[in-house]
Amino acid sequence: MPEELINETQTVSDTPEEQEFELRAHIGSIWSGGRLFIAMYTFLDASLIFSYFYLRSSNNGQLWRPNHVTAPTSYGWAIYSLVLLAALMAFYGQSRLRKGSVLDWQIASWVGVFAGVFALLLQIWEFTAVPFAPGSSGYSSTFIGYSCMNIMTLVIVTYWIETSLARSYRLPKEIGGTNPIMSMNPSAQSFRANVASMTYFFGFIALLSTLLFAMFYLL
Amino acid sequence: MTISAERPTQVDDHSPVSPVAVKERRGFGSGWQGQHIGTAIIAGFLGYIFGHWLGNYIGSSYAYIANSGQNSIADLLALVFMVVGWYLGIGALNYPLAKMVGREATHEVEYTGFSKYFRYNLDHKVVGLQYVVGVLLFLFTGGLLAMAIRAELLNPTTHLFSADTYIKIVSEHGTIMMMMATSVVVGPLGNYFIPLMIGARRMAFPRIEAFSFWTFLIGYVVIFSALPYGGFPTGWTGYAPLQTQAGPGMVSYLFGFAVIGVGMMTAGFNLAITVINYRAPGMTWSRVPVFVWGILSTAALLTLATPVLFSAGLFGLLDKTAQTAFFVTEHGGSSFLWQNLFWFFGHPEVYIMALPGFGIVGEIIPVFTRKPLFAYRIAAAGMIGVALLSFFVWQHHLFQSGIDPDMRPLFMLTTELISIPTGFIFLVGMGTLYRAKIRFEVPMLFCMAVYFNFLIGGVTGVFLSDVPVNVTVHGGFFVLSHFHYTIMGGLIFAFFGGLYFWLPKMTGKVMNKKLGLWHFWTMFVFFNLTFFPMFIIGLLGQPRRVFTYAKNLQTLNDFSSISAFLLGLSFLIFVANLMWSQFISPVKSPANPWDSLGLEWQTASPVPRHNFDRIPVIMTDPYHYSEEGAPALADFGGGSRADVSSATFPGNDPA
């Protein structure tokens, strides 16, 4: 016997107040979800930072960082610059979007996507260029850990921009009208809230990258 | 387009969706040709094989792998691709992939009938019931391993297992139980009832919610895969350097914890955001049910403490596969680093397990005492206090190792401090029970047992926070008994209380009372007879995780073992009750069998797809039992049960 499918067009009719409530809750979820995601990410990276300073201060067997060996700074600078560029583009795009220029936001986001992908490739390629074995010291271990976590971060942020960009192209077809992305349509409001959360997260990632770059390449 | 037009019975992740999108997506077929647990198993299996092949291919170029004969890269990649295959097979990645081409909140085909429980379902009530089965699977697997442990300890000289096998059984038991315990309330009851209790029609992120369940389930498979890999000898705490020296089973442990960690983070994330944003109009923070406070504080811990566990697992896996040295002291790492990272998660985890239990008890006792919850605000404050302080106590696990002795008093103090908000919560219960005419129904009995058990577990915990006592009894059965009293005596008893209380709402069928009473009394008596002697055994010096012991402790161990077998039997009574009441001879439950004022009981039974026909407007908190002229709980706007008033509500008569 075939499965019974619920009628896809079946709906619950809402009052205008309920519609307003649902929309507010939805936008609020995107806003607070973005902030909570930052809090989660803070704890994730705090464990890496704790490990770095714990092993550094322990310096077991004088093997924290023999001969002050350092990961290739050229790669470090390049990756850090690309992340900063993506973050700056996110902020610039967001400011242009607020002024109604969707095209500017899209161009800035494309730059962000390419910067993210390029940084990701460089981060992976850097494994072939490190002048130490992964387990040769405390520093080398934490550096490999940092690289893996940075790959994860770059995948997340690049995915976030790319999906927002893809959405910005499909949204007008779905809701129609002139400049629908800037309209009061719920889908458009949801889109803008998502972009705002993404930009905020980028700001956090830029700060975090600055700290981690200083720890692993400059200190 | 209005929001209403965008809420079909298909669940949407975010409301805005166009009719165009509805027409476009139909998933990967329908019926059993669609995605379900069967396709997930097949895809997971294929992923496992592919990952293993890939790992062997990569590993073949490394001399250290060829020399050692152990390819952890293959072990890890097999598990990684198994999980990816599982997600692909169940449909968890459909939406994230669709987003890459700009599709948002499209509608999957949604099934009614029994098959919906085997699919990636976005209804929080289905996910709640899926979790019930999931946690029981964990519980009974861990329980069987516990039986094996107690069977081995029947005799100090005649052995069922080798020392090596014994420690691996202990390790698997501990890990499975701790993984289960993190989700035992949050998963089934939290997911099912939080939207109903706050007057919401949906979760904030239903896909993330479904993702958390299917991650939880595959986490079980990953951690259980440790046994065919030869197990791991570290206990559930996974301490280095033993971790570094252990065989491939350790990879399952580390990756399993990382996978379960993802499930915990996503579950906590969704619940926290839902409570913050989807509370019905009028549901102010001072009207939020105490169970919701328990889940919210737990969700905060899940989202903030678990990332540290994830990192620790990642670092451990890098040590096993990429040959880093995070936890290898001889190479510049530190085995104490693992302890710090693990317990920074591990101690909040204790409260991840305790707080939902407190929430259940706080929700149930006003119903059966017909009294308002005593000092509601203090209960909520106590839960927040416990959650905050739990981040500052982890180093008491390192009193014996890896801590500057001068730091011990500080962490002794913070650990003792946490007993204050815990005491608040306890006293709230006592205040509610004071001079109450108690109805001793099965859920209430479980709640009373929670107070009894947790008192013993809590008081011994205060002793253990004291450095001299800690140093004396560390690593022995005293500690083991203490944490079984808090986790099993507190959380698991609360879970069963909650299950007996809410199952009539979840399934529409009542549990058999006589079998429920048998279950309770056997579980309560034999739980205490199993674990109380372990305090004495511990004080007499028997260490944990050792398969032999001094001859003079055999009588106590035998007594404990036989009690444990009978305790195991009590769980079978529960299973029999569940089968009998829900499937063999079901009896339809009244709409509100306990005469509760909780919002979750005021909606229709069975609960409609969108919970409430109209979003309720909340007028007051749900604890105005036996109060003359108490205000109406909520305005349901002509919905399921309009204008429920505590003064007129059936069973709200003090007599």
What is the structure's pLDDT at B13?
Answer: 40
What is the structure's pLDDT at B105?
Answer: 60
CA distance A112 to chain B (A): 15
Q: At B152, is the pLDDT very low, low, confident or very high (cuts 50, 70, 90)? A: very high
What is the structure's pLDDT at B11?
Answer: 38
Give chain A positions within 8 Å (CB) of B403.
none
Residues A71-117 have pLDDT tens digits of 999 999 999 999 999 999 999 999 999 998 999 999 999 999 999 99
Residue B318 scores a pLDDT above 60 = yes
Strands of the sheet with B632-635, listed across from one edge: B617-618, B632-635, B644-645
Residues B446-489 have pLDDT tens digits of 999 999 999 999 999 999 999 999 999 999 999 999 999 999 99
Overall average pLDDT of the B433-445 stretch? 96
Give chain A positions within 8 Å (CB) of B204.
25-26, 29, 33
What is the structure's pLDDT at B66?
Answer: 82
CA distance B576 to chain A (A): 30
Cβ(B339)–Cβ(B305) below 8 Å: no
**A130 lies within 8 A of chain B by CB:** no
What is the structure's pLDDT at B400?
Answer: 86
What is the structure's pLDDT at B638?
Answer: 61
Which residues make Cβ contacts (< 8 Å) with residue B356, sequence separation at least 6? B184, B185, B186, B189, B190, B291, B294, B295, B298, B491, B494
Q: Which of A23, A33, A136 sits opposite B331 (nearest CB)?
A: A136
What is the structure's pLDDT at B129?
Answer: 96
Parts of chain B belonging to CATH 1.20.210.10: 122-584
Question: What is the enclosing helix (H) or strand (E) of A151?
Answer: helix A138-175
**A29 lies within 8 A of chain B by CB:** yes
Cβ(A115)–Cβ(A82) below 8 Å: yes
Query: With a threshold of 0.90, does the pTM exceed it?
Result: yes
Say which CATH architecture domain B122-584 belongs to: Up-down Bundle (1.20)
A&B contacts, CB < 8 Å: 246
Question: Under an 8 A CB cutoff, do B278 and A25 touch?
Answer: yes
User: In chain A, whose CA is at the least distance from the CA of B326?
Assistant: A141
Give the pair of three-digit tokens for residue B526.
Answer: 């034999």
What is the structure's pLDDT at B106?
Answer: 56
Domain that holds residue A124: 30-218
What residues form DSSP beta bridges with B634? B618, B644
Residue B653 scores a pLDDT above 80 = no
Residues of chain A short of pLDDT 50, as ranges, are 1-11
What residues form DSSP beta bridges with B509? B588
Q: Tell me, what's the ipTM?
A: 0.93
What is the structure's pLDDT at B310?
Answer: 96
Cβ(B190)–Cβ(B271) below 8 Å: yes
Distance from C-alpha of B598 to C-alpha of B198, rounded to nearest angstrom: 10
**B403 lies within 8 A of chain A by CB:** no
Residue A12 resides in a domain: no
What is the structure's pLDDT at B450?
Answer: 97
What is the structure's pLDDT at B114?
Answer: 84
Question: Under an 8 A CB cutoff, do A37 and B269 touch?
Answer: yes
What is the structure's pLDDT at B113?
Answer: 81
Give chain B positions within 8 Å (CB) of A106.
none
**B311 lies within 8 A of chain A by CB:** yes
Residues B3-50 have pLDDT tens digits of 333 333 333 343 433 333 333 344 445 566 688 999 999 999 999 999
CATH number at residue A63: 1.20.120.80
Residues B291-311 have pLDDT tens digits of 999 999 999 999 999 999 999
What is the structure's pLDDT at A179?
Answer: 77
Residues B330-372 have pLDDT tens digits of 999 999 999 999 999 998 988 898 999 999 999 999 999 999 9
Residue B655 scores a pLDDT above 80 = no
Give chain B positions within 8 Å (CB) of A3.
30-32, 111-113, 115
Distance from C-alpha of B385 to C-alpha of B382, rounded to nearest angstrom: 5
**A32 lies within 8 A of chain B by CB:** yes
What is the structure's pLDDT at A176?
Answer: 79
Question: Under an 8 A CB cutoff, do A6 and B9 touch?
Answer: yes
CA distance B92 to chain A (A): 16
Three-state secondary structure call for residue B649: coil
Instruction: Return mean pLDDT, chain B.
Output: 90
**B269 lies within 8 A of chain A by CB:** yes
What is the structure's pLDDT at B643?
Answer: 44
Q: Which B residues 61-80 touch A at CB under 8 Å?
A: none
- Polymer length of chain B: 655
DSSP secondary structure string for all residues of B258-278: HHHHHHHHHHHHHHHHHHHH-
- Sort B135 into a burial class: Cβ within 10 Å, 0-12 / 13-18 / 19+: buried
Strand B632-635 relative to strand B644-645, pairing = antiparallel
When divided into structural domains, chain A yields a total of 1
CA distance A199 to chain B (A): 18
Nearest to B502 by CA among B449, B424, B443: B443
- Polymer length of chain A: 219
Which of A4, A7, A10, A14 to substitute to test the interface with B, most B CBs within 10 Å?
A14
Q: Which of A12, A41, A135 sits opposite B4 (nearest CB)?
A: A12
Distance from C-alpha of B211 to C-alpha of B127, rounded to nearest angstrom: 10
What is the structure's pLDDT at B27?
Answer: 47
What is the structure's pLDDT at A180?
Answer: 77
Residues B268-291 have pLDDT tens digits of 999 999 999 999 999 999 999 999
Question: Under an 8 A CB cutoff, do B308 and A39 touch?
Answer: no
Residue A14 resides in a domain: no
Residues B115-130 have pLDDT tens digits of 899 999 999 999 999 9
Give chain A positions within 8 Å (CB) of B304.
39-40, 43
Q: Which of B15, B21, B272 sits opposite A26 (nearest CB)?
A: B15
Residues B620-636 have pLDDT tens digits of 999 999 988 888 889 98
Distance from C-alpha of B95 to C-alpha of B10, rounded to nearest angstrom: 14
CA distance B118 to chain A (A): 13
The separation between the first and the last C-alpha atoms of chain B, rounded to the nearest angstrom, is 53
Alpha helix stretches (DSSP H) within chain A: 16-58, 73-98, 102-125, 138-175, 186-213
